[in-house]
């Protein structure tokens, strides 16, 4: 992949506090299950993960700057239905 992924310093700190791996963030950017519109022209890449038998949605908020993805923040949520767009189809994929 030629696109560059840059994680801003505050986002790196938040990932550490939230125990979210940089690899998960990169995987979600490179292979999102869904991309939805965020605030202020930002986009949100979404991908589901199973952690200790429970399903979570990783939401990665980013800005595109040419061929660069600038990661603003990321977080895990168990409220998949709240953020998943287009219904709950494909939710049994994992």
For residue 90, being part of any structural domain is answered with no
For residue 21, being part of any structural domain is answered with yes
Tell me, letter by letter, the H, E, C secondary structure of 39-83.
Answer: HHHCEEEEEEEEECCEEEEEEEEEEEECCEEEEEEEEEECCHHHH
For residue 91, being part of any structural domain is answered with no
- Cβ-in-10-Å burial (0-12, 13-18, 19+) of 3 comes to exposed
Range of the domain at 70: 4-83
Domain count, the chain: 1
Q: Is the pLDDT score of 19 beyond 80?
A: yes
For residue 58, being part of any structural domain is answered with yes
User: How confident is the model over 26-39, as pLDDT tens digits?
Assistant: 999 999 999 999 99
For residue 78, being part of any structural domain is answered with yes
For residue 56, being part of any structural domain is answered with yes
Q: Is the pLDDT score of 43 beyond 60?
A: yes
Write the DSSP symbol of residue 91: T
Question: pTM value?
Answer: 0.87
């Amino acid at each position: 992949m030629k696109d560059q992924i840059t994680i801003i310093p505050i986002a790196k700190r938040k990932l550490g506090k939230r125990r979210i791996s940089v690899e998960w963030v990169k995987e979600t950017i490179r292979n999102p299950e869904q991309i939805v519109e965020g605030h202020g022209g930002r986009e949100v890449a979404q991908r589901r993960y199973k952690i200790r038998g429970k399903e979570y949605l990783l939401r990665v908020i980013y800005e595109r700057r040419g061929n660069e993805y600038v990661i603003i923040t990321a977080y895990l949520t168990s409220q998949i239905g709240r953020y998943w767009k287009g219904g709950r189809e494909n939710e049994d994929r994992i």
